[in-house]
Structure 1
């Protein structure tokens, strides 16, 4: 697949794809004889994985380390798993914080729907 096709399929700009490759978030993409990127199935799996991780807020530095360890071989499995566990723990914490915020917003909306805005009145004092 061309970079344009991958960009459209995964809704990632071509510039972002080039950047991901340049910094090591995805392994080097195979190229045609003329030097044009030719994304194969494995490259597309990496793009999809990185998109998912980034959408989850996984830190770029952690992902670069993860890919570097992956490229070193199977003996790095424990280290790669440790990175994923740490990033998952951080995501769970962010999700809990977001849930608290959502709960508060829901409560505030419910107060408005019920016509009860006592807290706002108290905040004006």
Structure 2
């Protein structure tokens, strides 16, 4: 027996709104969704998994045009496995570069936080002069 879900359930599982799911469908960003006899969308588990992948691809910056290409290949079935893998491998390289940049950016933020901790701990201003303003010292939890 194939389990199917309604749009509200899929919205909850994927983190997308129902309107976003409908928009993704209209824009061809998710595979065709089956309908029940009363016309309501019914998502099978394979559809939910592909939607979850698409959410991740979007979140990692894959362009919409590439997602459309990926889905067109997905519709081709096994014949496109190699091409899908190549597209994902190219995207992985971009994501890895983004992660490296983010790690470097995070390190710079951490360095700046440490810098301010040292200034506060030593009662110093940015130009390394002592802070003499008692209001500033009190806000920093230091005796005036």
Q: TM-score range by the shorter chain?
A: 0.7 to 0.9
Structure 1: state its 5+ residue gaps. Answer: none
What's 1:21 paired with? 25
**Cα distance per residue 1:6-34 (max 9 Å; x no partner):** 11222211111112222222111110122
**Given the alignment of the two structures, is residue 42 of structure 1 paired with residue 70 of structure 2, yes or no?**
no
Q: Which has the higher strand share?
A: 2
Q: What TM-score results when the alignment is normalised by the length of structure 1?
A: 0.85
Q: Which has the higher contact order (CA 8 A, sep 6+)?
A: 1
What's 2:91 paired with? 87
RMSD: 1.9
Q: Which has the higher helix share?
A: 1
Equivalent residue for 2:70, pick from 57, 66, 71: 66
Q: What TM-score results when the alignment is normalised by the length of structure 2?
A: 0.75
How far apart, in 1, do the equivalents of 2:28 and 2:116 lie? 49
How far apart, in 1, do the equivalents of 2:41 and 2:83 lie? 30
Tell me which structure has the larger Cα radius of gyration.
Answer: 2
The count of residues paired between Structure 1 and Structure 2 equals 120
**Given the alignment of the two structures, is residue 12 of structure 1 paired with residue 12 of structure 2, yes or no?**
no
How far apart, in 2, do the equivalents of 1:91 and 1:22 lie? 27
